[in-house]
Structure 1
Amino acid sequence: MKKIVIIATMVLIIGACSTEQNDGPIDITPDELHASVDKVTEIMVHDIFSPPVASRIFAYPNIAAYEIVARYNDEYRSLVGQVRDLTPIPEADSTKAINYELAALVAHMEMNKRLIFSEDRMEALRDSLYGIYESKNPTLFKASKDYGLEVADHIGEWMNKDNYAQTRTMPKFTVDADDPTRWQPTPPAYMDGIEPHWNKIRPFVIDSAQQFKPAPPPEFSMEEGSDFYKELKEVYDVSQRITAEGDSSEELQIAQFWDCNPYVSVTRGHLMFATKKITPGAHWMGITKIAAKNTDSDFGRTLYAYTKASIAMADAFISCWDEKYRSNLIRPETLINQHIDDSWQPVLQTPPFPEYTSGHSVVSGAAAVALTDIFGDNFAFDDDTEVPFGLPIRSFDSFNQAADEAAISRMYGGIHYRVAIEVGVEQGRDLGEFVVDNLDMKVENDLADNR
C-alpha cells in the first residue's frame, strides 16, 4: 500500500512540475526578429531576386509584424491611413492569452515564406523556433501562432492587390538598337532589362511613381567638349586609374564593398554561372540591424526601424525604376567600348537595366534619411554586412556618409555617370524626407531626439 501511495505522490509531483514547465512565459527578443530578416536575406541570395523585388519582400513582412505590435503596444501607431490601401488587422480573441511579440514574429516568418521560392529554408528556421516556444507553453504558443497567421492572411490579401502579379505577365522591355542614346544589354550575359514595369507597383507612402521625377540627364552627345562626353570620359579615366593602383586603391575597395549585384555572371570556358550577392536593400537592412543592436533596441523599436527603412526603400525603388525606363539611358560600358576602348571592362559588372538614375544612390539616400530619423545624425557604426561575402568591415560616422559612399561607389565601379549618382542621391533623400514626414509611427521621441 505504501508503494502505491509513494508512486501516486510522485506522479502528482511530476505532473505538477510538468504543468509549471509548460505554463510559463515565452520571451521574444530582437534576436529572433534579426534571425527572420537574416534568413529571408539568405534565401533571396539563393533564389536570386532582383533589387526591386527584394525591396517588396522586405517591406510586407515587416509591416505585418509591425501592425500587431502597433495594435497592442501604446508606443506605436498603426500604419492604417498612412500606407496606401492598408485596412485594420483583425482583432485578437479577447478570451485567449496571446503573446503579441510572438504573434508578430509568426506573421513575419509566414509572410517571408509566401514571398520567396525556397520555402523549406524559411520553414527550417520557423520550425526550430516553434519547437522551443511550444515546449514552454503550448496553449499560449498556439493562440499566438494562430493570431499571427490570421494577420498574415490579412496583410497577404492587401499585398496581392499591389499589381505585382499583373506585372509578371506584362511584355519584356523592347530594346531600340537603332537609337545610340538608348540602353543596350551588356556583357557577359546580355540579359533583358529587369522589371521594366516596376513603376506600376502600388507605392506605400509616395503619391505616385512620378512624384519624385528627377531632372533629365545631360543631352546625349559624343562631341568631346559636351557635358555628356565629359561624364563618360570621367568614368573611363577613374576606372583606368584605380585599376592601375590595384588593391591599394581606396576607390576600388569602396566599389567592391557596395557591389550588391545579385546578377553577376561568371564565364569559365564554355560554362556561365552566377555568383550570388545581397541586394542594396539587403545591405541597408543589415545596417538597420547594426544600429538596432548598437542601441540595445527592444523588439518593438527594432521592428519599427526595419519597417520604416524598408518602406522608404520600397518606394525608392518604385521611383528610381520609373525614371530608369523613362530616360532609358545607355550605360558607360557600351559607349566606352564603342567609342573609346573596345577592350575596356568596368570594375563591377554592369547590372541589366538602364543607367539613369543610380539605384544605389536613390535607395541609399532614402534609407539613410529613414535611419537618421530614428537613430540620429552622426551615428557612428562599423558595417560588417559584407563580411560573409569576403569583404572587410568599413566604418562610417553617419548613415548619410554611408549613403554618399554607396552612391559614388557606382562611378568607381564603372557603371554610372556622376550625374546619375548626384541626382540619384538627391532624389532618394527627397523621397526619404517625404516618407518620414508622412509616417507617424512612434508616440514617444526617437533616439534621434535624445542623442
Structure 2
Amino acid sequence: MKLYIIFKEYSSNVKKQQILTAILFIILGALSGCAQKDIDYSKAAADPAFLRQSVDKLTEVITHDIFSPPVASRIYAYPQIAAYEVLLHDYPEYRSLAGQLTDFKGIPQPAPDSVYCFPLASLNAFLTVSRSFTFSSEMFDGYEAQLYEKYRAIGVPEDVFARSIRYGQTAAKSIIAYAAEDGYKQTRGFRHTVSQAPGHWVPTPPAYMDAIEPFWFKLRPFVIDSCNQFAPAKPAPYSTDKESDFYKEVMEVHTVTSNLSEEQVQIASFWDCNPFVMHTTGHVMYATKKITPGGHWLGITGIATRQANADMMETLEAYTRVAVSLADGFISCWDEKYRSDNIRPETAINTLVDEKWVPLLQTPPFPEYPSGHSVISNAAAVVLTDLYGDSFSYVDSTEVAYGLPARSFTSFSQAAGEAAISRLYGGIHFMPAIVNGAEEGKQVGSYIVSKLNTRKRTGEGAAVAVME
C-alpha cells in the first residue's frame, strides 16, 4: 500500500514536472516567436555604407572600362536616379524627381499592401542600371552576392527579400527605358572633322586620338533648359601677333609651366583625372587608367556624407544631386568645346614658341575651350555647398588609390578652385578656359540648386509620382 502511494505521488510529481516543462516551452516559444516577429531590420538595412560601397564599385568598373569623362557622367547619373526614386518610399519628406528632370515621369510604384525592404530594392536598382551601362558587368557579381548576403544576415525575410529585388529590377527597367531616349544612342559612331584652319583643335601626342564625343551637346539635359543656356564668352581669336590676347595666353602657359613649384606639380597631378594616359618607352606604348573628374567629385561626395553622418536617404540625395550636376555640366561644356573648336596649348606652344615643349599632364583628346574640369568641379561644389555649407572642411583621399597623397580643403569651393587652376599648371588649358569655365559651372550648379527640389515643403502631401 505504501509502495503504491509512493509510486502514485512520484508519478503525479513527474506529470506535474512534465506539464510545467511543457508550459515553459510554450511560453519560451511564444516569446521567441514574438521576438522573431518584432525583429527590426530596417535600421541595419538602411546603412549608408552599403550605398557608398556600391558607388565606389561603379567607379571601379568605369575606371576599368576606360569610359571618357562625359560618358562616365551619364553612367553615374541614371543609377543614382533609380536608387533615389525607390528609396524615397521610406522617406515621405522627400520628393520624387518626376516632373523635375526633363521628360521624367517617374517609376512604377510598389504594391500598396505588400512589405518591402526599400534600401535593398534601391541598391538592386542602382546595380542593375549600373550593369546595363557598363561593359564589364561581371565585375559586379561578387560584390552584389556579398551585399545580398549581408541583407539576409540582418534578418530580411525571404519573401520580403524576393519582393524587394523584383521591385528594384522593375524600377531599374523603367530608368533604363528613360535613358534610352536621351539621344546617346543616336550620337554613337559620329566623328569630329578636324579643321585645317589655324587655331583649331588637332589631335595631340602621344596617341593622337580622335576627338571624344563631338555630339555630346545633343544629349537631353537633366535639369538645365538647353546645352547652351550658360554658354561662356567666346575665346580670344587665334593670332601670331605677340601683342594679341591669344599670344599672351600662350606665353602665360609656357611661363607658368616652366617655373612650377613642387606644390603646383602636386596640385596638377591630384586633379589630372585623365581616364586613359598613354606612355611611350622606346617603341613600346602602354596606358594607365585613372578616375574621371566626375568620379573624383562623387568620391568627395562620399567623404562628405560620411563626415556629416548622413543617413542613407541624405547620402543618396547628395549623390543624386551631384551626379545630375556633373552630367548637365558636361553637356553644357561640350556644347562650347565643339563650337569654338579651340587649339590646345601643346599645339600652340609647339607651333609658335617652343617645338620641344611638353605639358606636365597629357593633353586630353578634345578641344580646349572651356575647361571641362573647371565647369563640372564648380557645378558639383555649388551643389555640395548648398547641402553642407560653405565652410565644410574635409580631407580628400579619393586619389590615394591611384598613388597620390590626400589633400585637405576648407570648403568645396576651394577644392573646385584648385581643380580649375590645376589645368594651367598641367599645361593643358589657357586661363580664359579656366576662369570662364568655372563661372559656367557655378551657373549650372546654381540653376540645379534652384530647380531640383528633393525635400518637400511644409504641408506638402506625401503622394509620389506614378509612371503612366
**Global fold match (TM > 0.5):** yes
Tell me which amino acid in the other structure corresponds to 1:59.
A
CA-CA distance at 1:444 after TM superposition: 6.9
Q: Deviations over 1:43-90 (max 9, x none)?
A: 111110000000001100111111122344112111111100111211
1:22 shift after superposition: 10
In the alignment, which of 81, 84, 98 is matched to residue 63 of structure 1? 81
For 2:415 and 2:457, how far apart are their aligned partners in 1?
27
Aligned match for 2:345, one of 321, 328, 332: 332
Q: Does 1:143 align with 2:160?
A: no
Write the letter of the residue equivalent to 1:30.
Answer: P
Aligned partners of 1:113 and 1:123 also within 8 Å: no
Structure 1 equivalent of residue 225 of structure 2? 207
Aligned equivalent of 2:129, options 68, 86, 111: 111
**Structure 1 residues 121 and 17, CA gap change in structure 2 (3 angstroms):** farther
**Aligned partner letter, 1:115:** F
* Cα distance in 2 for residues equivalent to 1:331 and 1:18: 71
Aligned match for 2:148, one of 95, 114, 130: 130
Residue number in structure 1 paired with 2:194: 175
* Matching of residue 238 in structure 1 with residue 266 in structure 2: no
Stretch deviating more after TM superposition (60-69 or 422-431): 60-69
Residues 89, 118 of structure 2: 8 Å contact kept: no
What is the CA–CA distance in structure 1 between the aligned matches of 2:376 and 2:113, rounded to whole Å? Answer: 44
Q: State whether structure 2 residue 318 is matched by structure 1 residue 302.
A: no
CA–CA distance in 2 between the matches of 1:266 and 1:385?
23
- Secondary structure of 1:386's aligned partner: helix
Confirm or deny: 8 A CA contact 1:22 1:138 kept in the other structure: no
- How far has the Cα of 1:123 moved from its partner? 2.1
The answer to whether the aligner puts 1:81 opposite 2:94 as a matched pair is no
SS at match of 1:264: strand
Query: Would you identify which runs of 4 or more consecutive aligned residues in structure 1 move more than 4 Å?
Result: 16-24
Give the partner amino acid of 1:315.
D
Q: Larger Rg: 1 or 2? A: 2
> What is the aligned partner in structure 1 of residue 113 from structure 2?
95
**Offset of residue 124 of structure 1:** 1.7
Q: Report SS of the residue matched to 1:214.
A: coil
Question: What TM-score do you get using the length of structure 1 for normalisation?
Answer: 0.92
Q: Which amino acid aligns with 1:166?
A: Q
The answer to which of 160-169 and 67-76 deviates more is: 67-76
The aligned amino acid for 2:199 is: T
| Structure 1 segment 5-404 matched on structure 2, within 5 A | 24=39, 25=41, 27-135=45-153, 136=155, 137-169=157-189, 171-176=190-195, 178-242=196-260, 245=261, 249-404=262-417
**CA positional deviation for 1:19:** 11
436-445 or 331-340, larger mean C-alpha shift:
436-445
Deviations 1:347-368 (A, max 9, x none): 0000000000000000001000
Contact 1:134 1:142 survives alignment (8 Å): no
Runs of 5+ consecutive residues of structure 2 not aligned to the other structure: 1-20, 459-468
Q: 1:22 to 1:336 in 2, by over 3 A?
A: farther
Matched residue of 1:204: which SS?
A: coil
Is contact 1:372-1:399 (8 Å) kept?
Answer: yes
Distance (whole Å) between structure 2 residues aligned to residue 103 and residue 272 of structure 1: 44
Range with bigger deviation, 91-100 or 256-265: 91-100
2:255 partner amino acid: D
Q: Percent identity?
A: 51
Distance 1:17 1:267 in 2: 68
